[in-house]
């Protein structure tokens, strides 16, 4: 079975028409993982026996004429989502021995839909990173150029989808962790509006910014899976109750008259010329389909990175205080009293980047600095959100680069955290404002590395964003390119 040839939609159709079984499909993906994972490092945990058992159960449902669109479809899950009976590490040493006793809401939704858990994907430790270099389990390699990073923190999910080790993968986005790796790996990724996806059972980094989402080759694939992901959950106080939505229905909507906002701040200095050139070509495709380009302003966008790196570490320092070696997770082997046990467990269990952010967060929340840093950052966050709302009065969607450059080499930014943080400069504002955002493939640079086009919409405009992305992908084939082939699959 040549998995390069199938979209998620055709896989779903094949299962229903009994062209192949879920067990056969799952086995094909497991074989591909076994063949490529040692080289790419996409998966932390794979359990073939458990996956094939789920696949056989899905086949039984399909034989009875039951099940939904995703019944029998293998799905890779970022290792930030708790899954009952599965090792759930969050890419860390701290949780390297934690087997979850319950399912996250996201996992529960896919299980109820009859999807098959293909495995748990690698990620930056506690989702803190932009390159997947901070994982306790080693880095993930970009399938297009293995010497380059796949992006982070959802690099394992992105690389797995790009290499066709999975047709669909869950991911999370706190400051760009779906869109940035999607751009680096040449796939499509969507971060829904904050509150559309329950955070129950999703290991917390920064609670006011974290949001679950999906990665797949195309926008049509994302539309096929998004209905399973979104929905109200009373166990999450930030979960938003919205009417059920069919994300497939508007996919073929016309782009005629679409107003595309181009933020001045996204097209200036700092953007790689090859990225800018690819985006110009993408925008011409939209114009040829009837869209109109409108220049807009996001005057506070240059403050998004400093605001994020005050607020996110502050929330992280609070969320990660639960890892103390007492109840679960890593515990130091040698210690004297309780205080020393906690101190040693945290010193041994957390990596350098996580420690850095905990210290920053504790500092900005400390007495004497709370007003100067944390409260001030919250005020600027409101200004950033207002900039977006005002921009949407002039346009229907914002577009620009997902990242300033294509994927960089391993080690290029590791010694300079600020340069690493700046790779998220175009994605962070979306999280601060709670907006939905997407990245879709828009070409390649001279090294053969993918370029990502970012789409940003008003709150709860996921269906419109998917349709706008799909319109572009009907006119191009960047989303169909597979690493190692160079041409359409």
What does the pLDDT average to over 178-191? 98
What does the pLDDT average to over 83-106? 98
Residue 222 has a pLDDT of 98
The residues that bridge with 249 in the sheet, in sequence order, are none
The residues that bridge with 438 in the sheet, in sequence order, are 190, 455
Residues present in the chain in total: 489
In a domain, 45, yes or no: no
pLDDT at 84 over 90: yes
Looking up tokens 């099940």, which residue turns up?
67
Q: From CA 5, how far away is CA 22, in angstroms rounded?
A: 17
In a domain, 322, yes or no: yes
Q: From CA 467, how far away is CA 255, in angstroms rounded?
A: 9
Residue 486 has a pLDDT of 47
pLDDT at 488 over 90: no
In a domain, 15, yes or no: no
Q: Do 146 and 40 form a contact (C-beta atoms < 8 A)?
A: yes
Residue range(s) defining the domain that contains residue 335 = 302-379
Q: Do 11 and 28 form a contact (C-beta atoms < 8 A)?
A: no
pLDDT at 356 over 60: yes
Taking all residues of the chain, what is their mean pLDDT, rounded to a whole number? 96
Residue 489 has a pLDDT of 34
Could you report the per-residue pLDDT of 32-59, keeping only the tens digit for each? 999 999 999 999 999 999 999 999 999 9
pLDDT at 70 over 80: yes
CB-count exposure of residue 310 (10 Å: 0-12, 13-18, 19+):
buried
pLDDT at 6 over 90: no
What does the pLDDT average to over 61-84? 96
For β-strands 188-191 and 74-78, DSSP reports them as: unpaired
Distances, alpha carbon 119 to alpha carbons 52, 83, 217, in Å? 11, 10, 18
In a domain, 244, yes or no: no
In a domain, 354, yes or no: yes
In a domain, 84, yes or no: no
- How many distinct structural domains can be found in the chain? 1
What does the pLDDT average to over 56-67? 96
In a domain, 196, yes or no: no
Query: Active-site positions?
Result: 78, 153, 177
In a domain, 333, yes or no: yes
Could you report the per-residue pLDDT of 281-309, keeping only the tens digit for each? 999 999 999 999 999 999 999 999 999 99
Could you report the per-residue pLDDT of 390-412, keeping only the tens digit for each? 999 999 999 999 999 999 999 99
Q: Do 262 and 284 form a contact (C-beta atoms < 8 A)?
A: no
Q: How confident is the model at residue 383 (pLDDT cuts 50, 70, 90)?
A: very high
pLDDT at 4 over 90: no
Residue 440 has a pLDDT of 98
Q: pTM higher than 0.85, yes or no?
A: yes
Residue 419 has a pLDDT of 84
Residue 416 has a pLDDT of 81
């Amino acid at each position: 079975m040549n998995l390069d040839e199938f979209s998620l939609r055709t896989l779903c159709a094949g299962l229903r028409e009994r062209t192949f079984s879920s067990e056969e499909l799952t086995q094909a993906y497991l074989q591909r993982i076994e063949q490529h994972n040692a080289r790419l490092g996409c998966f932390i945990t794979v359990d073939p026996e458990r996956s094939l058992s789920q696949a056989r159960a899905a086949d039984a449902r399909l034989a009875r004429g039951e099940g939904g669109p995703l019944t029998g479809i293998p799905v890779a899950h970022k290792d930030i989502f708790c899954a009952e009976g599965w090792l759930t590490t969050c890419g860390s040493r701290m949780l390297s021995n934690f087997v979850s006793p319950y399912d996250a809401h996201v996992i529960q939704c896919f299980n109820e839909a009859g999807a098959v858990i293909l495995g748990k994907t690698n990620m930056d430790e506690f989702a803190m990173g932009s390159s997947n270099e901070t994982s306790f389990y080693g880095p993930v390699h970009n399938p297009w150029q293995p010497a380059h990073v796949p992006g982070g923190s959802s690099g394992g999910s992105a690389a797995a989808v790009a290499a066709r080790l999975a047709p669909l993968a869950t991911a999370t986005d706190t400051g760009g962790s779906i869109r940035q790796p999607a751009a680096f790996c040449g796939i499509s990724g969507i971060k829904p509006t904050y509150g559309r996806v329950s955070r129950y059972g999703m290991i917390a980094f920064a609670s006011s910014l974290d949001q679950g989402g999906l990665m797949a080759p195309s926008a049509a694939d994302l539309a096929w899976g998004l209905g399973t992901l979104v929905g109200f959950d009373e166990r999450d106080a930030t979960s938003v109750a919205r009417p059920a939505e069919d994300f497939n229905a508007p996919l073929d909507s016309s782009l005629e008259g679409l107003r595309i906002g181009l933020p001045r701040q996204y097209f200036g200095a700092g953007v790689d010329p090859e990225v800018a050139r690819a985006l110009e070509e993408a925008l011409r495709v939209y114009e040829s389909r009837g869209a109109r380009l409108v220049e807009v302003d996001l005057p506070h966008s240059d403050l998004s990175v400093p605001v994020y790196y005050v607020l996110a570490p502050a929330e992280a320092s609070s969320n990660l205080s639960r890892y103390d070696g007492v109840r679960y997770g890593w515990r130091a082997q040698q210690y004297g009293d309780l205080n020393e046990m906690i101190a040693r467990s945290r010193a041994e269990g957390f990596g350098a980047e996580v420690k850095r952010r905990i210290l920053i967060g504790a500092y900005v929340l400390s007495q004497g600095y709370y007003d100067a840093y944390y409260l001030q950052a919250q005020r600027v966050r409101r200004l950033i959100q207002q900039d977006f709302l005002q921009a949407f009065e002039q346009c229907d969607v914002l577009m620009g680069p997902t990242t300033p450059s294509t994927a960089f080499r391993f080690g290029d930014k590791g010694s300079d955290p600020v340069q690493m943080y700046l790779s998220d400069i175009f994605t962070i504002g979306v999280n601060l404002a709670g907006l939905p955002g997407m990245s879709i493939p828009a070409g390649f640079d001279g090294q053969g590395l993918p370029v990502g086009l970012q789409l940003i919409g008003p709150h709860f405009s996921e269906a419109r964003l998917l349709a706008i992305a799909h319109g572009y992908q009907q006119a191009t084939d960047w989303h169909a390119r597979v690493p190692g082939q160079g041409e359409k699959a």
